[in-house]
Structure 1
Amino acid sequence: MIREQRFINDDWTFAYGEHPGAESEPPHPPRPEAARHDAAWYDIGLPHSFDLPDFREQRFYVGHGCYRRTVTINPEWTGQWIALEFLGVFQACEVFVNGRPVGRHEGGYTPFTVDISDAVVAGANEVFVRVDNLWNPRLAPRAGDYSFAGGIYRDVSLIVADRVRIDWYGIGVTTPDVGRERATVAASVEVVNDEPHPVQVDVAAVIADPGRTVAALPPVTRTIPARSRAVVELEGAVARPILWHPDQPHRYRLTASVSVEGTARDSQQTAFGIRSFEFTADRGFFLNGEHLDLHGVNVHQNRGGWGDAGTRASIRRDVAMVKDLGMNIIRGSHYPHHPFFAEECDRQGLLFWSELHFWGIGGEDVEGYWFASAYPVEEADEPAFEESLRRALREMVRTHRNHPSIVTWSIGNEAFFSDDKVIDKAKRLTGELVELARELDPTRPVAVGGAQRKGFDRLGDIAGYNGDGAELFHDPGIPNVVSEYHGVRGQGPGEYEVEWEHGVEVDYPWRSGKIFWCAFHYKSIADGAGLQGLADYWRRPRRPYHWYRERLRGIAPPEFPKPGWAVALRLSSDVDTIPTDGTGDVRIEVELVDTRGVRVVDDRAVTLTVVEGEGVFPSGRSITLAPETHSLWGGAGAIELRSYVPGVQRIRATADGLVPAELVAEAVGERKAPRARRLPPPAPSVAEPPRGQGKTSLAAYRPVSVSSAEPRFEGGNATSSGSGTFWRAANRDPGEWITAHLEFPYEISRIEVVFAEAPAHPWAVETSADGQRFEPLHRGEPGADSLSVHLDFPARPASRVRIAFPQQPIDIEEIRVY
């Protein structure tokens, strides 16, 4: 039997809560006593998030949610290997079939399968999945600047294959020798024998370009013992290969097959590219032997309305927007992304930095929520936590290894935000994960992202420096990238020109490149965070997006809309058809236009309603885009519509005093019998995250900017506790300053300044809520204060704290903020 795989994203029901015992109940319970239970269930499609609609509110639902669906098993499938494939569930789930437990998975970002072969019967089978997104001290990530919404937020498929087959993601392809005249291709094919007796298999593979076979890898015969597996190595060559490059993202397709006694038992395909690359310590990055300056963006996966639950079509658009900027690399911040994301990078021509979620956020360092130490502070939590990252790394590499766009596996981001008492353990684990990544894939270097503190930059093959790391590590003697730099902030259109910090505007020959923070606004647990996008949460380009595009591609910006009086609405969409399997959607944009049909800045709220068909917005049959939710600005807004039922979808836009507009799209897919569908309400309210409970300085190990600094006395010394050194200005002139960046807005009420010398000149403490305007807090006079100054004051909002010197700078050992 040749395998079959199909999406089962449609026709699920969902309910908030744990629902103990519900895994054994049928979906339409005939028993009266179960009727009350069934009333809590709603019709949904996948991908799905606990938090729909998602308007980027800081709070999110933390708890359980349950999913169920009927899956039909054809009689001819019985006796074969049958599995459910989940590409992403956040973050722990239990899977039941016909009331029987069949699998459990922990980890919110990596794909996995559940073998249901022995639990299903011919005909209807009931699948039940219980999911939770509870903070778990033993499961990564323990911290991060993001939103950790629960749900089955990526695709689910049903897979049927022979009992003698190629394992799930069981083909690995490498290109050991790459030249313009010839490239060798090596394929590792993992074959599974589920039969109760040994089998002799013939494993073969062919490599094809569209429409033609370019190479055949000589077959290998192997005997595999009963109920075991074996890896079969094949090798061949491609003559005059077309090398993969962002300007020519050419891919080949390898098809591997398994036969027993001349009968084909299984076949799988994988796409791959032929290229060579190198990160160097002194000359930057090279692709196919040619220097390439890397310039890219970080990308988070969540989005306006739908949160983490984006479709493949939305992923395709995200990658296309980065390509449109003229950039050439994406950092998948800060977790393994959907395998389709890497596939689109392959197809569209963008390099990809694939990252593990060993992740820190700093700040209050509070157990019980995602503000905690990146590495566990309790010894009992360490083994399970470490294993969760090893497991996720194996899953990431296995499912992403054939993508030519991926040029590094990154171990995480800013894991130095671990409690000082366990920092050595965090570094040891980072080193172990680096070694494991090298073992799993010797063909790619291993990066450590956000490695600008505590010596993490020396633990991998590539150092990724965030923020002030760009100026702290000049010519570090190892391959390096600026993995995050900032330049924009705020809602709405923003300023046109991007203002770079920390000297990233200089392209040093020893630096492989720089990666902007970030492509799109994102939802975060941190107040005021997530607003550094070149495009907003709804994927509408802001003005700095056009600045980058002009800089990198020479495309002049469009004429930006001006204030005016709208009289009508206009609707447009990116596509006319929607697949009903959950992989696609239609992106709808609404504009407010004047009598000439020109868009004007008239930000009246607009409501979009499905008036025909069974299409859904993240809020159901209608959604309102408004300035209050930042989903409409500059006279326009955008949202994505899905449909899991075929047919015409007619959408109407209305707003006070404006002529309505309509748009029609066609949902295409398998015909279904009509039935009443109950759409879920918004997510339940949730408790506030812990605030003000931490005892750690909010400035600890955060970025620092300075007016000047002597070599070896950089500003970063002043936020590194116990560093043994201090900040010293390079100049002794009036007006010198040092600023500690808290990175997120906090309500602060205490500042401590530790001088390295007795204050002999006036000094001042200032705070800024927006990073732009500073307000005075305290003025210190010569001789009036000791080396250590503690300032307590009524709480005030601040994201930065600046120490300024109106006459002459004073050396500072540490700045602490609470």
Structure 2
Amino acid sequence: MTRRKALINTAWKFAYEDPPGAVAEDFDDSDFYDVGLPHSFGIPYFMQTGFYVGRGVYRRVLEVRPEDLGKYLALEFQGVFQDAEVYVNGRQVGRHLGGYTAFAIDISTAVRAGANQLAVRVSNEWNPRLAPRAGEHTFNGGIYRDVSLIVTERTRIAWYGTFVTTRRLVGGDAVIEVATELVNDSGVHFDGDLTAEIRLAGESILWLRQPVSLPAGATRTCRQELTLPQARLWHPDTPHLYTLEQRLGLDQAVTTFGVRTVEFTSDKGFFLNGEHLPIHGANVHQDRAGWSDAATHSGIRRDVTLIRESGMNLIRGSHYPHHEEFAAECDRQGVLFWSELCFWGIGGENAEGFWIASAYPPNEADRAEFEDSCLRAMAEMIRVNRNHPSVIAWSTGNEVFFTDDEVIPQAKQLTQRLVDLVHELDPTRPAAVGGAQRRGFDELGDLAGYNGDGASLFLKPPWPSIVSEYGSVIEDRPGTYGPLYGHGVETDYAWRSGIVLWCGFHHGSIVPDMGRMGFIDYFRLPLRAWHWYRHEMRGIEPPPWPLPGTAAALRLSADRMTIATDGTDDTLITVTLVDASGQVVADDRAVRIEVVAGGGIFPTGTSITLSADNRGLLDGVGAIEFRSYFAGPNTLRADADGLEATELTIEAVGGEDWHGQPRRLPAGPPSLSFMPSAESPRLLSAKRPVFSSSSPADRPAHLVTDYSVAEGWISATNQPGAWLRIDLEGLWAVDTITVLFGEPGSVPFLLAVSADGQAFEQSATGTTRHGRMSFDLRGRLIHAVKVAFPQAPAEVIEVRVHGR
């Protein structure tokens, strides 16, 4: 068979900004940096709130065989953030807008036999007409996922053109449908067969043949319904996977799929294969220490394994489509996956720019292109991931209610269009609406995901629901041993499909400290809360905690001793400080790891220092991912003040051998952009989560940040000690807090603030007799605000927090 798909992740040249003429074939790129893919503009990145915003250019030589001319050749990009212009031999062959979905560009007529010059111009500049317009994550640019060359026949099975669905389970059998998109862009009519063989664990199960007549220039979808006898169902406990090998003429395509059914109900929760399955999962961002968004397949495997080993059974891909390898790894490990679109918002007062904008465009001129970008990204996400049995829902976005008031109707209309598109493209999975706890977004889809206070606000809604975010506890290692419950998830309701922790891993954020909410840190080392969940759900006792002490030695280890050099592989290097008896001690002295022989690299180059300053070494343990684009042994040496150095050898295999060839490694981005400082204080509390000691159903606590002055929160009882708490979802420099009370009279209250959302300090006291009270905080760093009534409760109409 002639179809070939080859990774081209190695031997790229890269420059920041947009050097004049850099996409031309004869451009001199000798002063460009030497990089491998996946690559991020931000490398090395360690959770700074600022990141490089601008442009970059990638160049590489591509060899084409003479016998491949005249065939279909395409470049497949699994993800480029977020505006990519692709050139071959100085000629633009395509452009893709959208930072999180895969795309393929036909280069058949642009290449020649032998050497061809590829160039990709990339921009991560904020675009008001491109999703996402807003979010709290960081938006580092780059070709941060795999690139491959595809070579096959002009008459072929389309790119990701096969869709296998489970129609129904009948006894022990499964009725499935195979829909295959066929393309004939040759000049000749095709008459032949579409054949298919289904295998399970290497054993042939079924063989099919369907005659095909395909005119020149035509595209057609063939559908085949068949019965799999005694089907082996995909389930987290038994993640059985089938392979479908299809042939059309000389072309061949292989599709991995699973047999299973999913159902979310409003009264009994979630069902997999007709059996009830409670969901407990975690939200996961894709970035990691040093390497930013540029994750390898091994890194993805590590992430899925850490969530699964905690005892959880679902990952929510927050808040954008992830690498297809993520769903594939969830398939293999038996982890459910919630796949989400990059239509989302950020709390507080909106601006226009730097991802702190209204989730939906307030400017009419931007709306049509923005809506097209969302619909296109949804279609691309579904096409690439639709055969993965782990995917149980397509989410239209996250917290889109963070949209300017005047365009909320348009934001809801777009959400409905996205729901309808899911129904059209994949009727076997529900269209979810993530972060739907405000403004009626929860009623638009098949499944409502409630974040934060939504868990306590929406008890037994009339549609299927899940708590898509709970927790939000800011901690570094070692952290607190215990659950991260809260937000109303402590009670196990039969009607609720499940709960999903915010969040799995520390991640980069434009909001100070908002990224430090994982139960696994940025370096992929678990906090003590992770061990609590693992003990609670799997019965595994936590390890002995390191005690304060003085280290006597260093230990260096790796989770994989051999790695591939094609950009899909890495190893997690771990360093521990131990005492004379070999026990890990909480000695946080800095450790430097250096590549003393070999061509491998850390995100910082040929050496890295792990310390408490970069949170890379805490509680006596540090870690970092290490990769190589050259074959051969890599000797790593770790040393720290007062301790004898130790070494470790990692073998890199495949590709070009390392013999000390010269290379120019980037030191990092030339500049960083930060969230712009407002000339006047920004309203930080708008539509933020609010929690209370109690409230009647018609007077919930969230009224105090929704700013309807008609009525506000009241306690459900008149008992002393009533309170409400506003979560600012990050650490902000607060200038003023204003509280508007509704009841006349003179009821004592106290105002308390917290820097971590947990421990509160009293800031002011007073009575409600003035109706409105303002307090000057003078830039104090605050994460949450609490208003409490020690004697008797009073109505609170609004709480307004302003700051930067």
TM-score (norm 2): 0.98
AA partner of residue 457 (structure 1): D
1:774 aligned residue (760, 768, 789): 760
Match of 1:719 in 2: 705
- The CA deviation at 1:227 is 1.7
How many residue pairs are counted as aligned between the two chains?
Answer: 801
Match of 1:629 in 2: 614
- The CA deviation at 1:180 is 4.1
AA partner of residue 317 (structure 1): R
Q: Using the alignment, how far apart are the partners of 2:317 and 2:171 within structure 1?
A: 30
- Find out whether 1:765 has 2:751 as its counterpart: yes
- Find out whether 1:524 has 2:509 as its counterpart: yes
1:731 aligned residue (702, 714, 717): 717
1:435 aligned residue (420, 426, 429): 420
1:540 aligned residue (520, 525, 546): 525
Q: What CA RMSD, in Å, does the superposition of the two structures yield over aligned residues?
A: 1.5
1:94-109 to 2 correspondences below 5 Å: 94-109=85-100
- Find out whether 1:317 has 2:307 as its counterpart: no
Residues 98 and 125, structure 1, Cα contact 8 Å, conserved in 2: yes
1:89 aligned residue (61, 64, 80): 80
1:489 aligned residue (474, 482, 498): 474
1:747 aligned residue (727, 733, 736): 733
Q: Using the alignment, how far apart are the partners of 2:313 and 2:104 within structure 1?
A: 33
Match of 1:798 in 2: 782
Residues 484 and 529, structure 2, Cα contact 8 Å, conserved in 1: no
- The CA deviation at 1:695 is 7.2
- The CA deviation at 1:800 is 1.3
1:228 aligned residue (210, 218, 229): 218
Q: Percent identity?
A: 51
- Find out whether 1:369 has 2:354 as its counterpart: yes
1:496-515 to 2 correspondences below 5 Å: 496-515=481-500
Q: Using the alignment, how far apart are the partners of 1:695 and 1:420 within structure 2?
A: 20
Q: Using the alignment, how far apart are the partners of 2:745 and 2:182 within structure 1?
A: 72
Q: Using the alignment, how far apart are the partners of 1:443 and 1:645 within structure 2?
A: 44
Match of 1:691 in 2: 677
Q: Using the alignment, how far apart are the partners of 1:591 and 1:468 within structure 2?
A: 39
- The CA deviation at 1:611 is 0.9
Q: Using the alignment, how far apart are the partners of 1:736 and 1:419 within structure 2?
A: 32
- The CA deviation at 1:694 is 7.3
1:253 aligned residue (235, 243, 254): 243
Aligned-partner SS, 1:359? coil
- The CA deviation at 1:492 is 1.9
Change in CA separation of 1:423 and 1:696 when aligned onto 2, cut-off 3 Å: farther
Q: Using the alignment, how far apart are the partners of 1:426 and 1:744 within structure 2?
A: 25
Match of 1:262 in 2: none
Aligned-partner SS, 1:615? coil
Query: Please, which moves more after superposition, 680-689 or 542-551?
Result: 680-689
Q: Using the alignment, how far apart are the partners of 1:51 and 1:795 within structure 2?
A: 29
1:195 aligned residue (151, 169, 186): 186
- The CA deviation at 1:223 is 2.1
Aligned-partner SS, 2:644? coil
- Find out whether 1:554 has 2:539 as its counterpart: yes
Change in CA separation of 1:602 and 1:404 when aligned onto 2, cut-off 3 Å: same
1:433-472 to 2 correspondences below 5 Å: 433-472=418-457
Q: Using the alignment, how far apart are the partners of 2:326 and 2:760 within structure 1?
A: 41
Match of 2:263 in 1: 278
1:267 aligned residue (252, 264, 269): 252
Match of 1:813 in 2: 797
Residues 497 and 544, structure 1, Cα contact 8 Å, conserved in 2: yes
Q: Using the alignment, how far apart are the partners of 2:680 and 2:409 within structure 1?
A: 21
- The CA deviation at 1:687 is 3.5
Q: Using the alignment, how far apart are the partners of 1:155 and 1:195 within structure 2?
A: 28
1:378 aligned residue (363, 374, 377): 363
- The CA deviation at 1:203 is 1.1
Q: Using the alignment, how far apart are the partners of 1:762 and 1:729 within structure 2?
A: 15
Match of 1:330 in 2: 315
- Find out whether 1:207 has 2:195 as its counterpart: no
Q: Using the alignment, how far apart are the partners of 1:760 and 1:730 within structure 2?
A: 19
1:32-431 to 2 correspondences below 5 Å: 38-39=30-31, 41-217=32-208, 219-259=209-249, 265-431=250-416
Aligned-partner SS, 1:89? coil
Residues 290-342 of structure 1 deviation map (CA, whole Å, 9 limit, x = unaligned): 11110110111000111100100000011011111111111000000000000
Aligned-partner SS, 1:429? helix
Q: Using the alignment, how far apart are the partners of 1:636 and 1:696 within structure 2?
A: 40
Residues 302 and 309, structure 1, Cα contact 8 Å, conserved in 2: yes
Q: Using the alignment, how far apart are the partners of 1:341 and 1:26 within structure 2?
A: 38
Residues 366 and 693, structure 1, Cα contact 8 Å, conserved in 2: no
Change in CA separation of 1:713 and 1:124 when aligned onto 2, cut-off 3 Å: same
Residues 43 and 292, structure 2, Cα contact 8 Å, conserved in 1: yes
TM-score (norm 1): 0.96
Residues 172-192 of structure 1 deviation map (CA, whole Å, 9 limit, x = unaligned): 111111234211121111111
AA partner of residue 97 (structure 2): E
Gaps of 5+ in 1: 30-36, 260-264
AA partner of residue 807 (structure 1): Q
- The CA deviation at 1:685 is 2.1
Residues 608-648 of structure 1 deviation map (CA, whole Å, 9 limit, x = unaligned): 11111100111111111111000110111111111111111
Q: Using the alignment, how far apart are the partners of 1:725 and 1:289 within structure 2?
A: 45
- The CA deviation at 1:87 is 0.2
Match of 1:17 in 2: 17
- Find out whether 1:563 has 2:548 as its counterpart: yes
- Find out whether 1:665 has 2:647 as its counterpart: no
- The CA deviation at 1:693 is 5.0
Q: Using the alignment, how far apart are the partners of 2:548 and 2:774 within structure 1?
A: 49
Q: Using the alignment, how far apart are the partners of 1:477 and 1:579 within structure 2?
A: 51
Residues 369 and 689, structure 1, Cα contact 8 Å, conserved in 2: yes
- The CA deviation at 1:765 is 2.5
- The CA deviation at 1:605 is 0.7
Match of 1:33 in 2: none
AA partner of residue 116 (structure 1): I
Q: Using the alignment, how far apart are the partners of 1:126 and 1:759 within structure 2?
A: 77
